[in-house]
Amino acid sequence: MSETVDYDLLCAAFQNRAARIGIIGLGYVGLPLALTGIRVGFKVLGFDIDPARVEELGRGRSMIKHIPDATVAAAIATQRFEPTTDFDRLGEPDALLICVPTPLTRNREPDLTYVVQTCEAIGRRLSA
């Protein structure tokens, strides 16, 4: 059974910062994006496959040099940022942003393996 989305309500939720954003991949792109979302008032559910990374973030520790631990700790303290490895929670956010690596192949073309795997994980858990 599929749900009908009320796009006007969804747009209003984003405009008044009541929407919850899901960010898949909490590395050098996803973590700053999550922190920006939190700073402007959104709730962010951050997904990552690395349990150690999620644990460190949950303790307020950054694994990215230019992001101080204090910034992550402050985000956690707001209770608007929750890092998780539980991809069964993909249905909770109102929007999902994919921030996974796209390394270059030997031919200098993007390797989309991580993007494809992420989309497959989303597809297994969400239905239209």
pTM of the model: 0.90
CA distance 96 to 18: 15
63-116 residue pLDDT tens: 999 999 999 999 999 999 999 999 999 999 999 999 999 999 999 999 999 999
Q: Where in 6-113 does DSSP place strands (E)?
A: 20-24, 43-47, 81-84, 95-98
Domain ranges of the chain: 20-125
Q: Please write the tens of the pLDDT for every residue from 15-66.
A: 999 999 999 999 999 999 999 999 999 999 999 999 999 999 999 999 999 9
Per DSSP, what are the bridge partners of residue 97? Answer: 23
Domain 20-125 sits in CATH 3.20.20.70: no
